[in-house]
Amino acid sequence: MSNLPSAPYTSFSHVDRYPGNPILTAADFPADHRIQHVFNSGIVRFNGCYLMICRCENSMLKPVFWIADSEDGIRFTPRPEPMVMPTDDPEFARYTSATFYDPRITPLDGKYYITHAAHSEHECRLSLLETEDFESFTWRGFISEPDNRNGVIFPGKFNGLYARLDRPNVGNGNSAIWISYSPDLIHWGQSKVVLEKSQIHWCYGKIGPGAVPIRTEHGWLNIFHGVRTQCAQHYVYQLGVCLHDLDNPGRLIGYSREAILAPEEPYEILGQAPTVVFTCGALLEDDGSIKIYYGGADRVMCLATTSADRLVALCTAGA
């Protein structure tokens, strides 16, 4: 494990929560921007440090992406100003008129690609930003048809093609994680289902990708989210894990039948979306430990740790 303090976990959790959670709250941001919530943020290593693109909402519930930096992956400092989004582009403005949210960051080919959801009266689409330095960003456009969300790009190519996991919202409610391929990150096809909600009992509400997949010698670890309804349509969001083949990510090696993290702590239960743990990013450390960054109750950012071996064992136990 890493040098993080180890906290005990219950039978319902296969990760160790950081005892100092939450690691980032609205109070950490400049007061004049009136940030109310920070959650569901993407994470990447950059220039030897940790960089988080935070999903924030201000006092008017307007969306903001805000970069925060850290040397140790625990204590994050937001930059003085939020990211400048391409809201002056008429197409971006039209299809993000409701909100934009949930950034995921993929390092690939010497660049960093940020996928995020974009919502309007025309439902949800996936949007793509590109950067080399996290100072200036190029908007590559929308990269999915409606209605689609939870897009995460693999940090590698397969037979010369990019690969992406996502969750189309189908009318019959048969939620599933899909994989698609692209020659240019814009045009996607060869789509197929890789994991259905019906395969995992606690995902009977819906299922979708979470963190950018993590490469291990045993396969790609995919930390996803699953949802169940409890008592009059109350949603409970949990995290799970599955393992994809290294060379053929459309082939699933196995998955954990149990959730690896469920909302149990007050900061995961009390918030604007109660009983939610949700990740948009996780990082593999040199010692084999994994840091999972997750939103608690759509209000704060939290941290949990585990190991690649631990998650792989869960995925292959029943395979």
Where along the chain do its domains lie?
A: 16-316
Per-residue confidence (pLDDT) for residue 56, from 0 to 100: 98
Q: What dotted CATH number matches 16-316? A: 2.115.10.20
199-202: long-range contacts, CB 8 A cutoff, minimum separation 24? 199/255, 200/226, 200/240, 200/255, 200/257, 201/257, 202/226, 202/228, 202/238, 202/240, 202/258, 202/259
Per-residue confidence (pLDDT) for residue 234, from 0 to 100: 86
Per-residue confidence (pLDDT) for residue 230, from 0 to 100: 83
pLDDT tens string, the chain, 319 residues long: the values are 334 333 343 445 689 999 999 999 999 999 999 999 999 999 999 999 999 999 999 999 999 999 999 999 999 999 999 999 999 999 999 999 999 999 999 999 999 999 999 999 999 999 999 999 999 999 999 999 999 999 999 999 999 999 999 999 876 668 999 999 999 999 999 999 999 999 999 999 999 999 999 999 999 999 999 999 887 778 999 999 999 999 999 999 999 999 999 999 999 999 999 999 999 999 999 999 999 999 999 999 999 999 999 999 999 986 5
Residue 115: CB partners within 8 Å, gap ≥ 6? 103, 104, 106, 126, 127, 128, 143, 151, 152, 153, 164
- Count the Cβ atoms, other than its own, within 10 Å of residue 19: 10
Per-residue confidence (pLDDT) for residue 170, from 0 to 100: 78
Per-residue confidence (pLDDT) for residue 319, from 0 to 100: 54
Residue 194 parent element (H or E): strand 189-196
147 preceded by a cis bond (ω within 30 of 0): yes
Per-residue confidence (pLDDT) for residue 57, from 0 to 100: 97
For tokens 């083949």, what's the residue? 245
Per-residue confidence (pLDDT) for residue 1, from 0 to 100: 34
Secondary structure of residue 312 in the 3-state scheme: helix
For tokens 């890789």, what's the residue? 194
Spatial contact of 132 and 110, defined as CB atoms under 8 Å apart? yes
Per-residue confidence (pLDDT) for residue 231, from 0 to 100: 78
Per-residue confidence (pLDDT) for residue 219, from 0 to 100: 98
CA distance 200 to 219: 20
Tell which residue, 305, 300, 249, 248, has the closest CA to residue 282. 305
